[in-house]
Structure 1
Amino acid sequence: MATPEEVIRLQLAVRARGVTDLRVLMAMERVDRARFLSETFAARAYEDVPLPIAGGQTISQPSIVGQMTQALDVQPRDKVLEVGTGTGYQAAVLSHLARRVYTVERHRALTRAAQVNHQALGLSNITQITADGSFGLPEQAPFDRILVTAAAEDPPGPLLAQLRIGGSMVVPVGVSDHVQTLIKVTRTDGGYEYDELSPVRFVPLVEGVEHD
């Protein structure tokens, strides 16, 4: 359990990265990041750093979660797709902002962990699926918002096609671990508009499914 000092320090770190949307800040305050980490790293849950989880993946640092969530501008009636569930932290934050969250993970063990975490928190508006996230979830498309928590060389075409007109996607784009940019893509009647947000570092978006 976080101390009041740890909570305040983390809130200040998130705000210092430009996260000022009160709905986003309140959603993040309702989700205890420690639940989504192993006992080894739970004590560091309130530090603004990425931390390891199973499958060679990481849980994003809170300020990045805040930045991405704020950029996505989720509305209460939105249907959201997240690609890269991990242990379910980002999806839990989104669940307090959206009507429905579909989250796709290629590691079956992580999908199971996220399901346990979300059930324990009573988050009934999240559907966790093991699948190749680079293809999205066409059977549930179109989506109002799409959030990708792994870096692609370019915004994946199948995901762009699953955006509703007027919808938006936030995705890290870059060809290496060291040079990545967070991009917001908005679908319009005439095509897609792209906005660069900030430099980031994410694990790569990998095709296929791991049955671990």
Structure 2
Amino acid sequence: MTEDWKFERRRNRLVDDLREKGITDERVLAAVGRVPRHRFVEQAFLGRAYNDEALPIGLKQTISQPYTVAYQTQTLAPKRDERILEIGTGSGYQAAVLCEMGAKVYTVERMRGLFDKTAPLLRQLRYKASTRFGDGMQGWEAHAPYDGIIVTAGGIEIPDTLLQQLKMPEGTTPGGRMIIPVGPRHEQIMTYVMRLAENQFDSVEMEACRFVPLLSRTQS
């Protein structure tokens, strides 16, 4: 059995597992089924790459649990060619899933050690994500406004800078939306936000979660 076939079988089992856990969007499941998650994990954890668990990637950071990636993606519901900003590139796995769904992905990472590893990996795997080393709390204004923003770290509150980079509604076209963990580190709630007007936003609390903290400033 070749390595590629072995990993493909494991990806298929992961997709089945996510479906059983409540992920219903077939586009999301198909994207997860195409992304080689084993390329985004440390060699020491290769055998666990397709388990539904978070894994260390160094610098006290983790690659998110596949269910969490699928859940955030399903909630954001990115459409083909939509502009999606990711805050916290991390391993690059979430960005790869978004790319597989046809989104135009912009992703910001504040930790130089992760950025220097992940940006080349995404290019090597031919994912056309635009990557940036910088303070994710500031978003990426040069490419705003965004149809969607996905935040892969938890903050005490939702940064206003990110809210202002969501697309404004136009006629019958809804405004931009965001999925972000909000709250203290051990009491975070996944929160869905939609822009209704220039300074008007609606938010819905989804389910409890646990993410690494959302921090400002870069780390070399």
So what's the TM-score if we normalise by structure 1? 0.94
- Is the 8 Å Cα contact of residues 106 and 132 (structure 1) preserved in structure 2? yes
Specify the alignment match of 2:56 in structure 1: 52
Contact 1:17–1:67 under 8 Å retained in 2: no
Amino acid aligned to 2:207: S
Q: Deviations over 1:29-70 (max 9, x none)?
A: 110111001101111001101000121101000011000000
* Paired position in structure 2 for 1:94: 98
- Which residue identity does 2:70 align to in structure 1? G
Structure 1: how far apart are the matches of 2:125 and 2:7? 20
**Amino acid corresponding to residue 123 of structure 1 in structure 2:** Y
Alignment partner, residue 114 of structure 1: 118
Q: Secondary structure of 2:48's partner?
A: coil
Cα distance, 1:4–1:123 mapped onto 2, change above 3 Å: closer
In the aligned structure 2, how far is the partner of 1:180 from the partner of 1:87?
21
Query: SS state of the match for residue 75, structure 2?
Result: helix
Equivalent residue number for residue 127 of structure 1: 130
Q: Does 1:169 align with 2:178?
A: yes
Q: Does 1:207 align with 2:216?
A: yes
Give, in whole Å, the separation in 2 of the partners of 1:5 and 1:100: 28
2:200 alignment counterpart: 191
Secondary structure in 2 matching 1:192: strand
Q: Measure, in 1, the Cα distance between the counterparts of 2:214 and 2:195.
A: 21
Q: Deviations over 1:65-122 (max 9, x none)?
A: 0000000010112011000001200000001224411100011121121122212211
Give the letter aligned to residue 151 of structure 2: V
Distance in 1, matches of 2:7 and 2:216, equals: 40
Is 1:144 equivalent to 2:147 in the alignment?
Answer: yes
Residues 141 and 43 (structure 1), Cα distance of their counterparts in 2 relative to 1, 3 Å cut? same
- Counterparts of 2:162 and 2:19, CA distance in 1: 30
Per the TM alignment, residue 5 of structure 1 is displaced from its structure 2 partner at its CA by 5.2
User: Following TM superposition, where does structure 1 have runs of at least 4 consecutive aligned residues deviating by more than 4 angstroms?
Assistant: none
Tell which structure's C-alpha radius of gyration is larger: 2
**AA paired with 1:90?**
Q
Name the amino acid aligned to 2:157: D
Alignment gaps of 5+ in structure 2: 169-174
Query: For this pair of structures, how many residues does the alignment match?
Result: 209
Q: Which moved further from structure 2: 82-91 or 189-198?
A: 189-198
| Aligned equivalents of 1:143, 1:3: Cα separation in 2 | 34
- 1:153 maps onto 2:156 in alignment: yes
Deviates more, 1:154-163 or 1:6-15: 6-15
The residue number in structure 2 matching 1:75 is: 79
Indicate which of 171, 182, 197 corresponds to 2:190: 182
